[in-house]
C-alpha cells in the first residue's frame, strides 16, 4: 500500500523529528507533506536529509499565515469570515493586497519559487485554495444554505461588477443582497473562476521554477453533486476546470469528524477519479478532533483499507505526529 504522511504540527527538536523520519523510513513511507513554515526550520531540514522518499511542500494559500498582513475575506453576511469552531480559520480575500500594495497572489508565488529553489521538492501541494467554508462541521444532511459564500469585499464586488457589466448599490448589504438575489449564477461562475485562475497562476509559477515539479490540490471532500454542487459554486473547486493545472488531488476524507463511514471514502475516491482523470490520494484522520472519539484498531484499519482501494493513488495519514504505537503496528501490517 502506498502510505504517505502529513504533519499538522512539527516537532520542536531534532531528536523528535528524527523519530518521525525513522518511522517513515521503517514503514517505507513513499511521500511526506510538510508546510513551508515547517521545512524552513533548521532542525527539520537537517533531519529530512535522512528521509528516503519524496518531499512535497504544502502552501497554505488563502489561510492567514501572515497574521493580518493581508485582508480577510468577507462573507455573504457582510462580515469577516470565521465563527464557532471555525473562528481560527482566517481565510484571505483572493484579491487582497497589503499596505505596500503587494498581493497575496504574488506573495504565494514568491513563496513557491523560494521553496523550490531552497529544497527542490518533488511537488507543491496547494492547501486552503478555496473560498471559506468550515466544511469540518458540515455533515451529510446539512442544508446548503448553511454553507457561506465569499468574498464580498469592495475589491471583489468591484471586480465582479466590471467583469459582468453590472451596477451594484453602494451599500455593502444592498450590494450583497442584489448579487445573491439577482445575479447568483454570475457570482457562482465568478467564484469558480477566482479559484481556478489562482491555481493556474501558482502552478505556472511553480513550473517556471522547475518544469518537472508536480502539483497537488487539497480538496473539500464533497462529490460533484453534493450540497447542490457547493464544492464548485460556493467553495470554487471545479475539478474539470482545475485538472489542466494539477497532477493529483487529495480530498480531506476526515470521516470521524464528518460522521461518515469508511465506505464513503472509497465511494468518494472513485467519483473524484472519474470526475478528474487524475490520481486521487485521500487524506484520513487518525486521532480525536472536534469531539471525535478515539478510533478502534478495526475502525482505523477499515478506514485506511477503504481509502487505499482502487483507483486510489495512495493514502495520506494525518496528522502523522499523533500516530500511536498501536497504530504504527497496524500501518506496518498494512504496508507489509
Residue-by-residue DSSP string for 58-104: EEETTB-TTTTSSPBPBBTTSSBS--GGGGG--BBPTT-B-TTS-BH
pLDDT at 335: 87
| Helix or strand (DSSP H, E) at 275 | helix 262-276
The predicted structure's pLDDT at residue 80: 81
Positive/negative CA dihedral, 96, 101, 107, 110: positive
Residues 6+ apart with CB under 8 A from 247: 123, 214, 215, 216, 278, 279
- Domain locations along the chain: 3-75+89-147+191-334
Beta carbons within 10 angstroms of residue 72's beta carbon: 21
On whether the CB atoms of residues 62 and 94 are closer than 8 A, the answer is yes
Peptide bond into 282 cis (omega under 30): no
pTM of the predicted protein model: 0.96
What's the confidence (pLDDT) of residue 42? 96
The pLDDT of residue 89: 83
- Residue 29's CB is within 10 A of a number of other CB atoms, namely 23
Residue 84: the pLDDT is 56
pLDDT in tens, the chain (336 residues): 899 999 999 999 999 999 999 999 999 999 999 999 999 999 999 999 999 999 999 999 999 999 999 999 999 988 887 655 556 788 999 999 999 999 999 999 999 999 999 999 999 999 999 999 999 999 999 999 989 999 999 999 999 999 999 999 999 999 999 999 999 999 999 999 999 999 999 999 999 999 999 999 999 999 999 999 999 999 999 999 999 999 999 999 999 999 999 999 999 999 999 999 999 999 999 999 988 999 999 999 999 999 999 999 999 999 999 999 999 999 999 987
pLDDT of residue 82: 65
How large is the C-alpha radius of gyration of the chain? 20
Q: What is the C-alpha separation between 33 and 305, in angstroms, rounded?
A: 21
Whole-angstrom CA distances from 109 to 63, 171, 208, 219, 289 are 14, 34, 11, 20, 32
- The dotted CATH code for 3-75+89-147+191-334 is 3.20.20.80
- C-alpha 299/C-alpha 301 separation (Å) is 6
Amino acid at each position: 500500500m502506498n502510505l504517505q504522511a502529513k504533519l499538522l504540527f512539527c516537532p520542536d527538536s531534532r531528536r523528535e523529528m528524527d523519530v518521525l523520519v525513522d518511522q517513515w523510513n521503517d514503514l517505507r513511507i513513499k511521500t511526506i507533506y510538510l508546510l513551508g513554515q515547517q521545512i524552513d526550520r533548521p532542525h527539520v531540514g537537517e533531519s529530512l536529509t535522512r528521509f528516503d522518499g519524496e518531499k512535497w511542500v504544502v502552501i497554505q494559500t488563502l489561510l492567514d499565515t501572515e497574521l493580518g498582513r493581508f485582508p480577510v475575506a468577507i462573507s455573504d453576511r457582510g462580515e469577516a469570515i470565521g465563527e464557532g469552531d471555525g473562528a481560527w480559520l482566517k481565510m484571505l480575500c483572493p484579491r487582497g493586497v497589503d499596505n505596500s500594495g503587494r498581493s497575496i497572489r504574488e506573495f504565494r508565488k514568491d513563496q513557491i519559487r523560494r521553496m523550490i529553489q531552497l529544497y527542490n521538492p518533488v511537488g507543491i501541494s496547494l492547501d486552503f485554495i478555496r473560498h471559506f467554508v468550515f466544511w469540518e462541521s458540515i455533515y451529510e444532511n446539512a442544508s446548503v444554505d448553511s454553507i457561506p459564500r465569499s468574498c464580498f469585499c469592495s475589491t471583489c464586488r468591484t471586480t465582479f461588477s466590471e467583469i459582468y457589466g453590472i451596477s451594484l448599490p453602494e451599500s455593502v448589504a444592498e450590494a450583497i443582497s442584489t448579487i445573491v438575489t439577482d445575479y447568483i449564477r454570475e457570482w457562482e461562475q465568478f467564484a469558480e473562476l477566482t479559484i481556478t485562475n489562482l491555481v493556474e497562476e501558482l502552478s505556472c509559477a511553480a513550473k517556471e521554477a522547475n518544469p518537472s515539479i508536480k502539483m497537488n490540490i487539497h480538496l473539500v471532500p464533497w462529490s460533484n453533486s453534493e450540497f447542490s454542487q457547493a464544492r464548485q459554486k460556493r467553495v470554487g473547486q471545479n475539478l474539470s476546470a482545475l485538472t489542466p493545472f494539477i497532477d493529483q488531488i487529495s480530498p480531506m476524507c476526515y470521516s470521524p469528524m464528518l460522521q461518515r463511514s469508511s465506505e464513503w471514502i472509497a465511494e468518494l475516491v472513485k467519483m473524484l477519479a472519474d470526475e478528474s482523470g487524475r490520481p486521487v490520494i485521500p487524506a484520513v484522520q487518525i486521532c480525536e478532533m472536534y469531539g471525535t472519539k478515539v478510533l478502534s484498531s478495526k475502525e482505523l484499519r477499515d478506514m485506511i483499507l477503504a481509502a487505499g482501494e482502487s483507483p486510489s493513488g495512495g493514502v495520506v495519514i494525518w496528522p502523522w505526529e499523533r500516530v500511536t504505537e498501536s497504530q504504527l503496528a497496524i500501518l506496518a501490517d498494512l504496508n507489509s
